[in-house]
A and B are shown apart, each in its own frame.
Chain A
């Protein structure tokens, strides 16, 4: 399986080698039986008719239940490990990743961004919060044994903890057009102080939340979404992560996905007590994915309940994401490349 450099690599490899061992034993057993029988019981005269054996129930049950039990053991093992792999740690470092044809962009919570490169501290849980601006991509780091599709119009998360300093490949693992195989990058795992040094070496820039605040003012969002007057629209203060009741009676958690949906499709899910149709205009076509993420970061920065989604459902990002990306600004010291 190659060099393992994450907290789950050893456990994934153990499972892999367990299955490999079973597979080799089973295949070898069958191959030996086939070859032995084919030689030992080869036809010796043209009119030979062998004893007819129609079957044996006990044997059938044996070779049904033994594989079934082995299957269930393997399934449970793999499923438990998968749940552990999919659930981000509470104190994970949030990095926002954007995929596009054919490059990766990443932005750190402190604002630094990089292209086709990712710098992470060793032994620190990291959670990538990812989206695509065009087609489906897949962020894969074979050395970490992790892989997650990056979808347009949605956020997916990829948690990992790197455990060995070094430089590892990032591959796009979902076919995304002609230069799919060029959508590769490098992840550099560094000692925490080196990471801090790298961060400070990078150009300091406005945090995503601050950009989001400016955007929200310029677009007029805060004209209605005010804390001192909640008649026209819900206030954003303390909103993030809470449960809201909709006018249909359903409840919804205010997370990245819901905020994004409400900005683009304000008529879809209206909070109970507000007019339907909503007075809010759609911002579809006016905001790109980067700006959407910045506004979400701003709303999150205004506080709210910090609750984790159950089960680590990857389609619902957990609540402490720090999306945000500053395009067209200077590259940090991380050897960022421009798009091809």
Chain B
């Protein structure tokens, strides 16, 4: 037993860099990656595949924005426009956002943050990547067949009749990807429950663990409902069994209830991990435990629970009764409270702190700003009377892009920069990092803020051509999207560049108190050289003490 006690700000530097076994030099062949059971290498498999998915989804978004530059539908045909926004939604949600933070950053760092050698079920972890790839292949096949055109929401009876194409392979692809999400969630739940290092009690866990725990809970409980729903769509479409289509005796509102029973909690699958990353970034770059740690931790679980009770707010104008609309409305207001608690606590953490404005912190501050806008505009849609005026308009589109892109994507990029040294052993170029972060923030706002205005003025979503009075907002939005595109391409280049040419990273370049930083950089295959024992609370900054031995 040896207690290492280092003052903060003095990163542990190794005097000589001898060739040490790390998870990166532990085998070089393709087989050593494709059949690896190391959670850190599986995280890389996911990182590469979701980056490809993100690029595909971005190309689809680019074509959408170009089409909307002019009021007339002149760039692509109407059918192809429907396919573009459908495939954009499916690609971004199921192939990018849902797996992004959990499967990449979670996979890499959950075992390290609990002080374990790996996740609870390493083989299941690898399987979940292969399952994801199988589902992705289905969706790729759909794309090669010409795409599907129901909207990512698959509303019946549009999706179960011959008005639409390639619905069954798309539904099966999403169903398969869903199983990958369930397996990952299950693995994380067991890992967090059973693999914590000695001394790591629940309220000593880092906030990233709390939020990923809440996320996994939703993944395991809600995703099966999506699987059932999509299977029923496929059954109705192929066998003509009446489930959702009134012409066959079914109920189309039933579909919407079942679909949103998954898909609203899925919004929290997408944003909770982002909140976890932000808590880590705020803590590391202020050298503080997050203000009101227990409230922030508990709010993750509260969001996960409340998230299951608000799906009906997608049905206010769908023909649901006034009384159920009221219940869903009030519950939707309540789910905003734990999110507000997080925001206030993050902001308070900066008070009298030591704020270090490195790239990840810029992303974190940007996240809070954009998430506040995304969250508050959500309340316009939770309120019944304003939802009637704004439902299915660009106001909704802007709202969820503020949460998904302004929130989740910024958190992902911030987290990726923060942990990049640990993952690769190299530093990214700081100046380019800051430049990209600022570009993303400005480009994002220019792209999506005008959509709030267009939506409030009545422009409908999923419109291929539109009334010319809305053109100015669409021109601004398309202009913004080119800036946003630059902001995304920059990190793609400099992060790839840094893999070979970046400065060698010290073990803990940020002087972070996170347990994952207490191992060598890049980590050895077994994560820690010796079993860590946790003596202090989370994000402990007066002095950090990790007992090894």
Q: Mark A39-59, 1 if CB is under 8 A from B, else 0.
A: 001111111111111111001
Please give, as numbers and ranges, the residues of chain B lying within 8 Å of A134 by CB-CB distance: 157, 161, 163
Known: A50-B286, A63-B340, A71-B334. A173 touches B392 (CB 8 A): yes
Minimum Cβ distance to chain B for residue A262 (Å): 14
B388 and A315: CB pair below 8 A?
Answer: no
B386 in the interface (beta carbon within 8 A): yes
| Best-buried of A1, A83, A136, A145 by chain B (most CB within 10 Å) | A136
Known: A30-B347, A34-B350, A175-B462. A2 touches B392 (CB 8 A): no
Query: Which of B82, B247, B288, B387 is close to A52, meaning CB atoms less than 8 Å apart?
Result: B288
A2→B92 CA distance, assembly (Å): 32
B288 and A71: CB pair below 8 A?
Answer: no
A63→B356 CA distance, assembly (Å): 26
Known: A19-B383, A180-B462. A151 touches B388 (CB 8 A): no
Please give, as numbers and ranges, the residues of chain B lying within 8 Å of A172 by CB-CB distance: 460
A290 in the interface (beta carbon within 8 A): no
Query: Which of B333, B372, B464 is close to A75, meaning CB atoms less than 8 Å apart?
Result: B333
8 Å CB interface, B369-390 against A: 369, 372-373, 376-377, 379-380, 382-389
Minimum Cβ distance to chain B for residue A109 (Å): 23
The stretch from A152-160, A196-204, A232-240, A292-300 touching chain B is A152-160
A145→B386 CA distance, assembly (Å): 8
| Best-buried of A48, A75, A101, A171 by chain B (most CB within 10 Å) | A75
Please give, as numbers and ranges, the residues of chain A lying within 8 Å of B352 by CB-CB distance: 41, 50-51, 53
A63→B287 CA distance, assembly (Å): 24
B494 in the interface (beta carbon within 8 A): no
A23→B549 CA distance, assembly (Å): 52
Please give, as numbers and ranges, the residues of chain B lying within 8 Å of A176 by CB-CB distance: 158
A74 in the interface (beta carbon within 8 A): yes
Please give, as numbers and ranges, the residues of chain A lying within 8 Å of B466 by CB-CB distance: 181
A142 in the interface (beta carbon within 8 A): yes
Please give, as numbers and ranges, the residues of chain B lying within 8 Å of A75 by CB-CB distance: 329-330, 333, 382-383
B369 and A153: CB pair below 8 A?
Answer: no
Minimum Cβ distance to chain B for residue A98 (Å): 14
Q: Mark B337-381, 1 if CB is under 8 A from A, else 0.
A: 100110111011011111111000100010011001100110110
A74 and B333: CB pair below 8 A?
Answer: yes
Q: Which 10 A-B pairs have the closest CB atoms?
A: A153-B246, A142-B458, A47-B9, A82-B384, A78-B383, A37-B350, A55-B292, A181-B463, A81-B385, A23-B376
Please give, as numbers and ranges, the residues of chain A lying within 8 Å of B337 by CB-CB distance: 64, 67-68, 71
8 Å CB interface, A244-267 against B: 265
Minimum Cβ distance to chain A for residue B314 (Å): 11
- The size of the chain A interface, using a CB distance under 8 A, is 90
B353 and A50: CB pair below 8 A?
Answer: yes
B347 and A2: CB pair below 8 A?
Answer: no
Chain A residue nearest in CB terms to B341: A64
Q: Mark A121-158, 1 if CB is under 8 A from B, else 0.
A: 00000000000001110101011011111011110100
Chain A residue nearest in CB terms to B393: A173
Minimum Cβ distance to chain A for residue B179 (Å): 27
Known: A27-B373, A53-B291. A47 touches B82 (CB 8 A): no
Chain B residue nearest in CB terms to A179: B78
A134→B252 CA distance, assembly (Å): 12
A283 in the interface (beta carbon within 8 A): no
Please give, as numbers and ranges, the residues of chain B lying within 8 Å of A79 by CB-CB distance: 326, 329-330, 384-385
B368 and A173: CB pair below 8 A?
Answer: no
- The size of the chain B interface, using a CB distance under 8 A, is 100
Name 5 interchain pairs, CB-CB below 8 A, sorted by A.
A49-B7, A68-B334, A77-B385, A314-B320, A314-B321
Minimum Cβ distance to chain B for residue A59 (Å): 7
8 Å CB interface, B504-549 against A: 511, 541-542
A152→B286 CA distance, assembly (Å): 57
A140→B460 CA distance, assembly (Å): 9
Minimum Cβ distance to chain B for residue A326 (Å): 23
B325 and A74: CB pair below 8 A?
Answer: no
A binding-site residues for B, Cβ under 8 Å: 1-2, 8, 11-12, 15-16, 19, 22-23, 26-27, 30-31, 33-34, 37-38, 41-56, 59-60, 63-64, 67-68, 71-72, 74-75, 77-79, 81-83, 85-86, 101, 134-136, 138, 140, 142-143, 145-149, 151-154, 156, 169, 171-182, 184, 265, 311-315
Q: Taking chain A's interface residues, is the majority helix, strand, or loop, or is none over half, making it mixed?
A: mixed
A59 and B348: CB pair below 8 A?
Answer: yes
A156→B316 CA distance, assembly (Å): 13
A174 and B392: CB pair below 8 A?
Answer: yes
A44→B287 CA distance, assembly (Å): 13
Please give, as numbers and ranges, the residues of chain B lying within 8 Å of A177 by CB-CB distance: 82, 149, 158, 163-164
Known: A75-B383, A173-B391. A178 touches B149 (CB 8 A): yes
Please give, as numbers and ranges, the residues of chain B lying within 8 Å of A169 by CB-CB distance: 458, 467
A149→B295 CA distance, assembly (Å): 40
A16 and B456: CB pair below 8 A?
Answer: yes
Q: Mark B37-65, 1 if CB is under 8 A from A, else 0.
A: 00000000000000000000000000000
Please give, as numbers and ranges, the residues of chain B lying within 8 Å of A46 by CB-CB distance: 9, 511
B317 and A41: CB pair below 8 A?
Answer: no
A74 and B383: CB pair below 8 A?
Answer: yes
B311 in the interface (beta carbon within 8 A): no
Chain A residue nearest in CB terms to B157: A135
Please give, as numbers and ranges, the residues of chain A lying within 8 Å of B464 by CB-CB distance: 178-181
Chain A residue nearest in CB terms to B373: A27
Chain B residue nearest in CB terms to A68: B337
Chain A residue nearest in CB terms to B380: A19
A175 and B350: CB pair below 8 A?
Answer: no
Q: A34-B350, A49-B542 are in contact. List 8 more A-B contacts (CB 8 A).
A: A27-B369, A30-B372, A68-B334, A134-B163, A142-B458, A169-B458, A311-B321, A315-B320
